[in-house]
């Protein structure tokens, strides 16, 4: 019995060495992880900035009737982005929009995922703004605040507290969506695992390693979001 266990353990070690140690193949995962984190970080920034701007435009139109043309353009953007797969958007940006130029693939991925995330963040933020009681707007105006001041000082802080879990979930989804970067030959984390599989003809270890890395990243990000949410709640007391 012990001999069988020892034999299986030895086979496991041999496969581990073959997949990760031999020829420094673990570096594929390290480099792929760095690219995944870079793409996710900058896509989150673009998505958050774009989403907040669009949410403010749409909520302003709903409450005041102003910015009609901008609201119309924002509606088109949201409809197109939410109505088409992110992988198709990535391929269109790389092979169609930038097909005739030599462009950095990381930039293309950041742009594609940032634009995609912006549409979803916009709807999340807008729902948070619209969920704030109308009396809060009236209270701000009665204090002499302008619409912009009321939104910035009174409405947005309350909205952000309410939508933080949804925003955190959107960014976690964005992190996992970057796994399709390999379709434009960008060697992200998932592509790195596939490269190792192609070198060793062993799919189990590299792909399980990729899955575990994503899982750890999601757990860490979830913990950070939960910690921030608790701090915001404690500030209310």
Percentage of the chain exceeding pLDDT 90: 56
In this predicted structure, what is the pLDDT of residue 23? 86
Q: What is the mean pLDDT of the chain?
A: 89
Bin 217: left if φ > 0, else alpha if -120 < ψ < 50, else beta.
alpha
Q: Options 1.10.3720.10, 1.10.30.50, 2.60.40.3140, 3.40.1390.30; which CATH number does 2-234 get?
A: 1.10.3720.10
Q: Which two tokens stand for residue 12?
A: 């496991």
pLDDT higher than threshold 80 for residue 218: yes
Cα 172 from Cα 214, distance rounded (Å): 10
pLDDT higher than threshold 60 for residue 237: no
Half-sphere exposure of 141 (CA within 13 A, CB side): 6
| This prediction's pTM | 0.90
Per-residue DSSP letters for 121-134? HHHHHHHHHHHS-H
Contact predicate 106/37, CB 8 Å = no
Using one digit for the tens of pLDDT, what is the confidence trace for 154-213? Answer: 888 888 888 888 888 889 999 999 999 999 989 999 999 999 999 999 889 999 999 999
């Amino acid at each position: 019995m012990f001999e069988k266990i020892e034999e299986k353990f030895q086979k496991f070690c041999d496969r581990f060495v073959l997949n990760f140690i031999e020829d420094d193949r673990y570096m594929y995962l390290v480099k792929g992880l760095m690219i995944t984190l870079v793409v996710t970080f900058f896509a989150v920034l673009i998505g958050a900035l774009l989403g907040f701007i669009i949410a403010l435009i749409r909520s302003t139109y709903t409450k005041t009737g102003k910015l009609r043309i901008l609201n119309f353009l924002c509606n088109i953007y949201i409809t197109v982005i939410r109505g088409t797969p992110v992988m198709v958007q990535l391929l269109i940006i790389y092979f169609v929009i930038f097909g005739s130029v030599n462009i950095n693939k990381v930039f293309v991925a950041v742009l594609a995922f940032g634009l995609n995330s912006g549409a979803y963040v916009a709807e999340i933020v807008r729902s948070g703004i619209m969920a704030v009681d109308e009396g809060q707007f009236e209270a701000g105006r009665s204090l002499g605040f302008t619409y912009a001041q009321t939104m910035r000082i009174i409405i947005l802080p309350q909205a952000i507290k309410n939508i933080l879990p949804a925003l955190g979930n959107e960014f976690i989804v964005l992190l996992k969506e970057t796994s399709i970067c390999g379709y434009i030959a960008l060697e992200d984390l998932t592509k790195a695992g596939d490269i190792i599989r192609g070198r060793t003809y062993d799919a189990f270890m590299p792909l399980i390693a990729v899955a575990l890395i994503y899982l750890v990243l999601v757990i860490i990000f979830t913990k950070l979001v939960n910690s921030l949410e608790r701090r915001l709640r404690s500030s209310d007391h």
